[in-house]
Structure 1
Amino acid sequence: MKVFVTGGAGLVGSTTIDMLLDRGDQVVAVDNFATGRRDNLASHGNLTLVEGAITDRPLIRQLMGDFRPDAVIHTAASYRDPEDWPTDAQTNAVGTATIVREAKDAGVSRLVYFQTALCYGVKPLAQPIPLDHPLDPGNSSYAISKTAGEQYIQYSGLDFVTFRLANVVGPRGVSGPIPIFYERLAQKKRCFVTPARRDFVFSGDLARTVVRAIDGVGHGTYHFSSGTDVAIQTLYDLVARSMGLNEVPEPEIRPLGPDDAPTILLDPARTFADFGRPDFTPIEEIVRRSVEYYRTHGVQGGYTHLKDLGKK
């Protein structure tokens, strides 16, 4: 299969590309390296990695026109600065519109997209959240722009799968609490935690499901989640334990910010019905692998799209 991947050097993109290359697929990937790491992708005869932006329509048209992919995996997204609304809108809305338009023109058979669970808002009407829950993304620039991108895909007429996601984490991750906790603890700085709970899922578990999606399994909108959540305090303790610290400093306890949700649990019933229930990697194993990766490759990022949860 010929697969075009945006955000190819990011966590989900690079993990999925590794699986595609292992089975013999040809891949063209594009990344502007705003958050992706070049060392996430090793050189491979079936991989072409292009530095560029998904908002560069002539570039995307040329790449897709020359490659003629069977499928597109669209992981590229802007999320590193919660106050940079124009970049979020350009990348997540305009960039997605560009990818979709050029995919249609190139005759792509299927497109896979990734949406944030914050499309439902920070005060959902039900837990776990059903797929038919009303959309209410007005909690962050990221959620607004990602929802606009999803709606372009739904409008396009392309055969698509959208995964509305729990918190995807793994060794190559640059966003969320795991890299923040690791970096601050390694520097002997104090961390803070909130009472929030989150459903953390492993990037490799998601990538295996994505590969099945481009092979034709499923259609339309799905939740990718385990259906269970973990306290941020528990995650902090796991990072400290995996680092082998003799003494674990007590983190500062902060209340939830106005744009943060106590928990967001997604109902994965349709995903389990169509794709089967993944053998979810335990959070302890995810943290252990992430800490090992950071020790070898270093840590960067620690980005968050929530303005009250940035590093302080």
Structure 2
Amino acid sequence: MGSELTYRGHEPQPTSDSYSPKPTKPWSTVVTPPITYILREQRLLFVLIGIIIATIFFALIPSSQTIYVSKPAHFIHPPRPIYRFNPGGKVPLSLKRKGLRIVVTGGAGFVGSHLVDRLIERGDSVIVVDNFFTGNKDNVMHHFGKSNFELIRHDVVKPLLLEVDQIYHLACPASPVHYKYNPTNVVGTLNMLGLAKRVGARFLLTSTSEVYGDPLQHPQVETYWGNVNPIGVRSCYDEGKRTAETLTMDYHRGAGVEVRIARIFNTYGPRMCIDDGRVVSNFVAQALRKEPMTVYGDGKQTRSFQYVSDLVDGLMRLMEGEHVGPFNLGNPGEFTMLELAQVVQETIDPDAKIEFRPNTEDDPHKRKPDITKAKNLLGWEPKVALRNGLPMMVSDFRRRIFGDHKDNSVAITVGGLRGTMEA
């Protein structure tokens, strides 16, 4: 009987077949659409606030900026983009480049100082080693105070120990006046190769077209062995560079040193030594001083002249490439000495005189590089013609000879590009 009694308030409750610990959401039913849910209880306001916060957050993240920095005036190339990022921004991996630690022997000289400019501009740490026999501090003074530049007064005929990734070995007098007085090819090269072996650095030797001597083959290719007088007045330089190439290849084959060999043909440009006995600097200095331009022999000897920025580009491509060489680096445009004198006349003084003198001993009759190998393997060829590059060298010589600062800039069009050189 008791089980059948029903007390007030204890009536049976309806039961459900399914159990859910959370109440059913109104937007989960077909009856209430999603838009109604968003509009209720100020939910739309919070969505808008979230969008505003996200917009402000992404707006404050710095983005990359591409800044174009022009090269020094004597390098007439298109401005190269340097990627700079504000603090807090992330640098994409594809834009990162680890700066190298590079030593340039002879880095205060004519070619060396231009090479240093390019390496510093690229972001590398550069150590210049020079004894200032033909180099000049003025050539690198604009780098003083930079954290990625060091200058060491040292003669490479004495050993030197540095921790570096690459060695550009340019230290050697390159003009007849200087190398006859102080030939230093072999010992300096041997010391720098020893350094490369000890620290595992890549080594680039700047050899010369003089290894071909007075060539019997024209134009000269890298496989030509040359025609050199081993006991002549120029042999200290000619044979010294040939020996330097031999040592370089022996260290490569025997000690596993990574090496590169460049055979440099006649090069001209700002910062050349004014009275170093080389034909371009001689002609320019003589014409500026109103002196007769001295042509040796009959003036029919031929040479090829490349502007210094072209050479530096070739050296850097060779160092960064995967080919040992040797590579001819020169301009295949061929000029006789008389033709060169005429170009100097056109550039400086149409009334400049030409004076003939007896030819020097062992002076090569023809010199022209075959640069097919450099074109195919390095993707390199010179771009600056003699008539375009010579005025910039003349401006530099005029300033150094006469101290002329009145016209402190010379505009010149080179290879279709307009550049400005500070005089």
Query: TM tier, shorter chain?
Result: 0.7 to 0.9
1:284-310 CA distances to partner (integer Å, 9 max, x unpaired)? 1221010011122339xxxxxxxxxxx
Q: What corresponds to 1:93 in structure 2?
A: 186
Q: Which runs of 5+ in 1 are unaligned?
A: 300-312
Which residue identity lines up with residue 97 of structure 1 in the other structure?
L
1:210-265 CA distances to partner (integer Å, 9 max, x unpaired)? 1222223422211112223112222222223322x3x5233123454341112111
Q: What corresponds to 2:294 in structure 1?
A: 192
Q: Is the 8 A contact 1:196 1:256 kept in 2?
A: no
Give runs of aligned pairs for residues 175-254 of structure 1, distance below 5 A: 175=276, 176-193=278-295, 194-243=299-348, 245=349, 247-254=350-357
How far the C-alpha of 1:26 sits from its partner, in A, is 0.4
Q: What corresponds to 2:172 in structure 1?
A: 77
How many Å separate the matches in 2 of 1:115 and 1:32? 19
Q: What corresponds to 1:310 in structure 2?
A: none
* TM-score normalised per structure 2: 0.64
Work out whether 1:117 is the aligned partner of 2:217: no
What's the secondary structure of 2:267's corresponding residue?
Answer: strand
Which residue identity lines up with residue 372 of structure 2 in the other structure?
A
How many Å separate the matches in 2 of 1:21 and 1:82? 31
How many Å separate the matches in 2 of 1:256 and 1:84? 19
Q: Is the 8 A contact 2:208 2:264 kept in 1?
A: yes
How far the C-alpha of 1:119 sits from its partner, in A, is 1.0
How many Å separate the matches in 2 of 1:143 and 1:192? 24
Q: Is the 8 A contact 1:195 1:256 kept in 2?
A: no
1:125-170 CA distances to partner (integer Å, 9 max, x unpaired)? 3211121112443251211111111211111122211111210111
Q: What corresponds to 1:267 in structure 2?
A: 370
Greater Rg, structure 1 or structure 2? 2
How far the C-alpha of 1:81 sits from its partner, in A, is 5.1
The 3 A distance-change label for structure 1 pair 83 and 283 is closer
Give runs of aligned pairs for residues 22-33 of structure 1, distance below 5 A: 22-33=121-132
Give runs of aligned pairs for residues 12-51 of structure 1, distance below 5 A: 12-41=111-140, 42=142, 43=144, 44-51=146-153
What CA RMSD, in Å, does the superposition of the two structures yield over aligned residues? 2.0
How far the C-alpha of 1:196 sits from its partner, in A, is 1.4
Q: Which runs of 5+ in 2 are unaligned?
A: 1-99, 403-423
How many Å separate the matches in 2 of 1:37 and 1:184? 22
Q: What corresponds to 1:154 in structure 2?
A: 249
How many Å separate the matches in 2 of 1:14 and 1:195? 32
How many Å separate the matches in 2 of 1:172 and 1:222? 25
How many Å separate the matches in 1 of 2:395 and 2:179? 32
Higher relative contact order (CA 8 A, sep 6+): 1
Q: What corresponds to 1:308 in structure 2?
A: none
Which residue identity lines up with residue 325 of structure 2 in the other structure?
G
The 3 A distance-change label for structure 1 pair 215 and 134 is closer
How many Å separate the matches in 2 of 1:31 and 1:137? 29
How many Å separate the matches in 2 of 1:250 and 1:296? 22
How many Å separate the matches in 1 of 2:112 and 2:175? 17
How far the C-alpha of 1:71 sits from its partner, in A, is 0.7
The 3 A distance-change label for structure 1 pair 290 and 273 is same
